[in-house]
Amino acid sequence: MATITRARVAEGLVAPWVEWERRCPKGRRLLEAGTYALTEGAIAAGCRVFAGYPITPATDIAEYMSKRLPQVGGYYMQCEDELAGMHACAGASLGGLKAMTATSGPGYTLMHDAYGWALTNEIPLVVVDAMRVGPISGITGAPGQGEFYVARYCTHGGNFETIVLSPSSVQEAFWLTIDAFNLSERFRTPVTILTDQVVSDMWEDLFLPDADEHLDFVVPRKHNLMMPFYPLGGADLDVPPNIIGRGTGVCVSAYTHTEEGYDIEEMEAQWAQTYRLVNKIRHHRDQLSRYETIGLEDADVVAVAYGADARTVKTAVLEARRQGLRAGFVRPITLWPFLDELYERDCHYVVCELNYDGQLVREVMRAAPDRAKVHFMGKSAELHTVAEVVAGLQGVARAGRIPELPYIWTEVR
C-alpha cells in the first residue's frame, strides 16, 4: 500500500489559481454573475459540450452555454431531464470532448445512476450543483448546503472516492471551474462543483483573461487508444481517458469489468477495480488540497465554513480578532476528499453551515482531536450574519457553548 501524504497546513489561500492569476495579467474586468463565471471558466478549460435540464438557480448556466458554445465550435443539448443530461455528457466525453452539466439539489439526486456509470468507467466530466434550501424543492431562491454528503456518496454501491470543490465568490467560480476540469482529466473521474444560490446568482467584479492569453495550465484532452483501457489494481494519475468509435474495442458498461471493460463476476476483479477507483484519489490527496485559513497558529476557537457562507464567517473572525479574541478561520475549498489535516489543532471549533441537520460538522467532529470541542451553528435560507458568528465565537471562548440565538440550530445527534 502506498503512503497517503498530507501537506503542512499553510496560512492564507492555498489553491492553484493563486499562481494562475499572476500568469494572466492581460484581460478584461466585468460585473457579472457567478453562473456567468462558471460558464466562462468551463469554456476556458476547453468544455465543448453542455447537456442539461433547467432548474433554479442553475438555469442561467444553461442559457449562457447555449449562446457561448456555438461561438467556440461546441454543442449545447437541451435534455428531457437531468439523468439524460448526465448520460449525454458522459457520452460526449467518451467521444473525445470535454463536457459539463449543471443542476440544483433535486436534479442532482436524479443523476446518481449516471454518476455511478461515469465513476466506474472513469469518464472525465464536470457537474455543477447550485444548492438551494431543501428538502425536495424547498425555497428555490435561497441558499442551502444540504448536498455535502450527497456529493460524496453520489451513487449507490460504495467502493469509490469523489472529488468535490466549492467556490465562495464569482471570481473564484471562474478559476475553480478550470481546476475542476483539470482534475477530472488527470484523475479520470467526474468532479462536482458544489456551489450555492448566493454564489450562483450574485454579481461581482470578474476578471477574464484575454482570449489570446495562452492558458498553459489547462490540462488538454488526450485519448487512450490501446489496452489497458482500465488500469485495474493501480493508482496512477494522468492516464489518458478512453475514447470510443475509433476501432479501439473498449467496452463501457455498468458492471465490474476487465481491463477491456467487459463485465466479469469475480471477487478478484472487484478488488482490482475498487483499488483503482478509491486509491487513485486517496494516494494523491496532496494534489487535491485547496483551502483558506486565518490565525490558526494562536487560535483558541476556529470558525469553519465553506461556499458563500464563508464570506460572512470570515468577516466575523476578523472582527472577533479585532476585539481581542484569538479566533481562527478555516474555509475548505476541497470538500471531498475531506482535508482532515485542517482540524488537527486541539482547540474549539464552531462549524457554520446552511442546514439544520449538521453535515460538515460531523466530519470536523471526526477529524478534530476532541469532538466535544466541536460546536454547530446551523442556519437555513440566509447566510450567517457577522453578529451571529461573533456571538457564537465569544460564547464558546468564554463559556464553552454557543448562546441561544434566533434561527440558529446547535444540536447534533
Per-residue pLDDT tens digits for 331-356 = 999 999 999 999 999 999 999 999 99
Residues 64 and 164 in one domain: yes
**pLDDT attached to residue 10:** 87
Q: How far apart are the first and last CA of the chain?
A: 35
What is the span of the domain harbouring residue 151?
Answer: 13-208
> Is 252 a domain residue?
no
**pLDDT attached to residue 236:** 96
The average pLDDT across 54-73 equals 97
Residue that finishes a domain, picked among 144, 177, 208:
208
> Is 249 a domain residue?
no
What confidence category does residue 1 fall into, taking pLDDT thresholds of 50, 70 and 90? very low
> Is 145 a domain residue?
yes
Listed in sequence order, the residues at least 6 apart from 243 whose beta carbon sits closer than 8 Å to its beta carbon are 94, 95, 96, 223, 224, 225, 250
> Is 339 a domain residue?
yes
Residues 299 and 189 in one domain: no
Residues 161 and 310 in one domain: no
pTM attached to this predicted model: 0.97
> Is 229 a domain residue?
no
Listed in sequence order, the residues at least 6 apart from 379 whose beta carbon sits closer than 8 Å to its beta carbon are 352, 353, 354, 356, 388, 407, 408, 409
Phi-psi region of 11 (alpha: psi -120 to 50; beta: other; left: phi over 0): beta
Among residues 46, 2, 5, 21, the alpha carbon closest in space to that of 289 is found at: 5
Q: Provide the angle, in degrees to the nearest 10, between the axes of the packed helices 386-399 and 309-322.
A: 50
Residues 22 and 126 in one domain: yes
**pLDDT attached to residue 5:** 52
**pLDDT attached to residue 7:** 63
The average pLDDT across 285-308 equals 97
Residue that finishes a domain, picked among 150, 179, 208:
208
> Is 2 a domain residue?
no
> Is 253 a domain residue?
no
**pLDDT attached to residue 320:** 98
CATH code for the domain of 43: 3.40.50.970
Residue that finishes a domain, picked among 156, 182, 208:
208
Listed in sequence order, the residues at least 6 apart from 174 whose beta carbon sits closer than 8 Å to its beta carbon are 37, 38, 40, 41, 44, 206, 207, 208
In tens, the pLDDT along 144-157 reads: 999 999 999 999 99
In tens, the pLDDT along 107-142 reads: 999 999 999 999 999 999 999 999 999 998 999 999
Residues 298 and 395 in one domain: yes
Give how many domains the chain has, as a whole number: 2
Residues 18 and 131 in one domain: yes
Strand order from edge to edge, sheet including 374-378? 12-14, 291-294, 327-332, 301-304, 348-353, 374-378
Residues 25 and 141 in one domain: yes
Cell (9 digits) for 35: 453562473
Q: Using CA atoms, how far apart are residues 186 and 174, in angstroms rounded to an integer?
A: 19
**pLDDT attached to residue 214:** 83
Instruction: Find out whether 161 and 285 touch, Cβ atoms under 8 Å.
Output: no
**pLDDT attached to residue 246:** 84
**pLDDT attached to residue 62:** 98
Q: Using CA atoms, how far apart are residues 370 and 206, in angstroms rounded to an integer?
A: 41
Residues 59 and 196 in one domain: yes
The mean-pLDDT minimum among 29-43, 243-257, 278-292, 335-349 falls in 243-257
> Is 302 a domain residue?
yes
Instruction: Find out whether 137 and 85 touch, Cβ atoms under 8 Å.
Output: no
Q: Using CA atoms, how far apart are residues 313 and 293, in angstroms rounded to an integer?
A: 12
CATH code for the domain of 297: 3.40.50.920
Residues 89 and 201 in one domain: yes
CA atoms within 13 Å, Cβ hemisphere of 293: 22
Burial class (CB in 10 A: 0-12, 13-18, 19+), 126: buried
Residues 203 and 94 in one domain: yes
Residues 169 and 312 in one domain: no
Q: Using CA atoms, how far apart are residues 320 and 331, in angstroms rounded to an integer?
A: 17
Instruction: Find out whether 44 and 219 touch, Cβ atoms under 8 Å.
Output: no
pLDDT at 11 > cutoff 50: yes
% of the chain beyond a pLDDT of 70: 98
> Residue type for 145, please?
Q
Residues 61 and 199 in one domain: yes
In tens, the pLDDT along 233-270 reads: 999 999 999 999 888 889 999 999 999 999 999 999 99
